[in-house]
Amino acid sequence: MCGIVGYIGPKKALPILISSLERLEYRGYDSSGIACISEKGDRGVYTIKEQGKLGRLKSKLNGALLDGHVGIGHTRWATHGEPSERNAHPHQDCSKKFALVHNGIIENYAELKHELQRKGHHFRSETDTEVAVHLIEEYFERCRNVFEAFQKAVIRMQGFFAFVLTTSHDPDAIYVFKRSNPLVIGVGNGENFVASDAPAILSYTNRMIYLDDNEMARVTADRTEVFRLGEKNPRRKPVVRIKWNMRQAEKDGFPHFMLKEIHEQPQVVDTILKERLRGNRIFFDSISKKTEKRLSRISKIHLVSCGTAYHAGLVGKYMLSECARLPVDASVSSEFRYEDPVVDERDLVIFITQSGETADTLAALRAAKEKKAFTLAIVNVVGSTIAREADCVIYTHAGPEIGVASTKAYLAQLTVLALFALYLGKLRGKLSSGQMREYINWLLKLPRQIEETLRQDKAVKQCARKLYTKRNFLYLGRGYNFPNALEGALKLKEITYAHAHGYAAGEMKHGPIALIDSEQPVICISPAAKTYEKMISNIQEIEARKGIVVSVATVGDQTIKKLSRFLFLIPETKEMLSSILAVIPLQLFAYYVAVFNKRDVDQPRNLAKSVTVE
């Protein structure tokens, strides 16, 4: 979704804004723009915008008079109005004294626009954002105070938004506001930064102030004052030092972030295990004694998430049922939030999210909290909104995930869910020490086994070379690997634009079997499991209809080898952990099919990394 950056300090703003916007490219965008306060004459606000990729904006900037030390920038992912230069941010008021960038949606923009038009404001774009900047101008005309005008305008707007404002009425400050959409202030020495995402400014500072909802700030080069909407006195905000480093946000010799992130998975899982395991004990620093008491009394678990994180939730459902012997439901956030879920204070609702900012997941979290459920967030991005709002948070610490297609974050989510399921099983007395020891021994093998699985790269690439022109793929799995069938299909769709469908293999006879002919590739995820024989029957049925069988199986499986046109092997593991290994060939397969089709692997069309609008 839209990316926001801002700079104020002694350096030229333009190069900093451009490099920060480049770091936000992964979020997905269709146009971009910059506004700077000029150093000369009237210290006016100058903007430059362009449709398409940042390269086009950069060519346009050559020779432009954006010489200031204060500026804001934006990458836009269109919601209201087509992707075009006219609709790109920053937007300006009639007098061109203000420039504003925005991420989110102003729900009552149409009504406000009519009101402002009646008062004589002239609009240049079709966006909801432009309303905000005219509204600020309108209030400024009356009170002649930027802070007050900004505050009054924000109070009038309904919806979810992060705003950053620069103005020649107060050229030595940047104003920001946050409601639901992410916004962070980077604290430097005699300079300050603003961004929708910490990695955007990580090469300049690792000290961040995370704004809470309905907070606004006036940021100057050496000071940040944060106010709650409607309050006059500034509040104290902690400065959080984040541990990610720039190298984690670089491609590091890999052709794409996605491939780099797939190869980081052994390390990611190793880090999680080292952090969470103390001998045969599982340890979560964020779970206090009081929380533990509450967890021991819960009667039902709900897992709520979107996209890949939803698939992790589905795997989590099997894990938690197996270990904690409780009823467990997994839902997509966009359904959960609107279905008036039957949830109360005896329930645990787990929210899984890489970004910690997904709009539907955040709304679902708030709905669960309203119903007094105990909420736990499994989150990657430290300090994100969902991490801050949940009753308890477990970080996955997978490091920054830049590729739009989620890979290492998924593996990290599955690993944390396995650990949490075991922890809860033990807490509820459902697992003996011997059983715990056995699971943990298998868990400890995972980093090496993931490395081993990554060595299937060549076999996967060869298969992708043969199949990359196909336009339809079917993915089948059962039990722990049914969610992986969905995940494999999602990965392929996202980055190759081919159609792919994931199905529970037992459902094949109820419809999808009609698709099978000699042209149809079917990816059968069939590691050793209690439903193994059933998967063999499914594969035979596909074979009998001349379908192209691509299998993921456990090393040494001769039966599947004979039945498959292409075979990817994973090491032997406990069934509960098999989805952690079996998804790796599926990630690589989607990657290579995309590469052979010359797709934009890291920034696939129409997609955004962090979906901060509904």
Read off the tokens for 578.
């098999």
Cβ proximity to ligand M6R: between 68 and 307 the closer is 307
The verdict on 611 binding ligand M6R (CB under 6 A) reads: yes
Question: What ranges in 211-337 are assigned the alpha helix state H?
Answer: 257-263, 265-276, 289-296, 307-324, 333-336
Cβ proximity to ligand M6R: between 387 and 418 the closer is 387
Query: Which of 306, 446, 464, 508 is the binder for ligand M6R (CB under 6 A)?
Result: 306
Contact 551, 566 (CB under 8 A): yes
Query: Which of 87, 603, 610, 612 is the binder for ligand M6R (CB under 6 A)?
Result: 610
Shortest distance, position 306 Cβ to ligand M6R, whole Å: 4
Shortest distance, position 469 Cβ to ligand M6R, whole Å: 23
Beta strands 215-219; 224-228: pairing state: antiparallel
- Going by C-alpha positions, the residue among 87, 20, 440 that lies closest to residue 249 is 20
Q: What contacts 395, CB < 8 A, 6 or more positions away?
A: 379, 380, 382, 387
Query: Which of 87, 125, 127, 354 is the binder for ligand M6R (CB under 6 A)?
Result: 354
Candidate ranges 181-189, 210-218, 521-529, 605-613; the one touching ligand M6R (CB under 6 A): 605-613
Shortest distance, position 346 Cβ to ligand M6R, whole Å: 26
Interhelix angle 307-324/408-427, nearest 10 degrees: 20
Shortest distance, position 236 Cβ to ligand M6R, whole Å: 29
171 vs 131: CA distance, rounded Å:
22
354 vs 546: CA distance, rounded Å:
40
Tell me how long the chain is. 614
Contact 460, 593 (CB under 8 A): no
The verdict on 307 binding ligand M6R (CB under 6 A) reads: yes
Cβ proximity to ligand M6R: between 406 and 453 the closer is 406
Query: Which of 88, 262, 309, 583 is the binder for ligand M6R (CB under 6 A)?
Result: 309
Query: What's the Cα-to-Cα distance from 501 to each of 82, 89, 140, 394, 457, rounded to whole Å?
Result: 30, 37, 54, 31, 23
User: H or E element: which one contains 461?
Assistant: helix 457-467
Sheet order of strands, 548-554 included: 499-504, 472-477, 521-526, 548-554, 566-570
Cβ proximity to ligand M6R: between 139 and 351 the closer is 351
Shortest distance, position 307 Cβ to ligand M6R, whole Å: 2
Q: How many residues bind ligand M6R (CB under 6 A)?
A: 16
Cβ proximity to ligand M6R: between 256 and 426 the closer is 256
Cβ proximity to ligand M6R: between 490 and 549 the closer is 490
* 609 flagged as catalytic: yes
Contact 610, 27 (CB under 8 A): yes
DSSP string across 214-232: TEEEEE-SS-EEEEETT-S
355 vs 375: CA distance, rounded Å:
17
The verdict on 353 binding ligand M6R (CB under 6 A) reads: yes
The verdict on 405 binding ligand M6R (CB under 6 A) reads: yes
Read off the tokens for 322.
């197996």
Candidate ranges 209-217, 347-355, 448-456, 551-559; the one touching ligand M6R (CB under 6 A): 347-355
Contact 334, 367 (CB under 8 A): no
DSSP string across 182-194: --EEEE-SS-EEE
| Active-site option among 2, 306, 323, 392 | 2
Which residue carries 């209030």 as its tokens?
139
Query: Which of 103, 308, 449, 579 is the binder for ligand M6R (CB under 6 A)?
Result: 308
* 2 flagged as catalytic: yes
DSSP H helix total and E strand total for the chain: 19, 26
Candidate ranges 191-199, 218-226, 305-313, 562-570; the one touching ligand M6R (CB under 6 A): 305-313
Shortest distance, position 427 Cβ to ligand M6R, whole Å: 26
Interhelix angle 482-496/578-596, nearest 10 degrees: 20
The verdict on 196 binding ligand M6R (CB under 6 A) reads: no
Beta strands 192-195; 184-187: pairing state: antiparallel
The verdict on 500 binding ligand M6R (CB under 6 A) reads: no
2 vs 613: CA distance, rounded Å:
10
Contact 112, 131 (CB under 8 A): yes
Cβ proximity to ligand M6R: between 354 and 554 the closer is 354
Query: Which of 47, 125, 265, 358 is the binder for ligand M6R (CB under 6 A)?
Result: 358
Shortest distance, position 197 Cβ to ligand M6R, whole Å: 11
Q: Which burial class, exposed, middle or buried, applies to 504 when counting CB atoms under 10 A from its CB (0-12, 13-18, 19+)?
A: middle
DSSP symbol at 155: H
Shortest distance, position 361 Cβ to ligand M6R, whole Å: 5
Query: Which of 259, 319, 390, 404 is the binder for ligand M6R (CB under 6 A)?
Result: 404
Cβ proximity to ligand M6R: between 45 and 495 the closer is 495
Cβ proximity to ligand M6R: between 362 and 525 the closer is 362
Query: Which of 47, 205, 331, 355 is the binder for ligand M6R (CB under 6 A)?
Result: 355
Residue nearest to ligand M6R (CB): 307
Cβ proximity to ligand M6R: between 151 and 355 the closer is 355
Which parts of 221-280 interact with ligand M6R (CB under 6 A)?
A: none
The single-letter code of the amino acid at 432 is S
Shortest distance, position 580 Cβ to ligand M6R, whole Å: 16
Shortest distance, position 312 Cβ to ligand M6R, whole Å: 8
By annotation, the residues acting in catalysis are 2, 609
* Contacting positions for ligand M6R (CB under 6 A): 306-309, 353-355, 358, 361, 404-406, 494, 607, 610-611
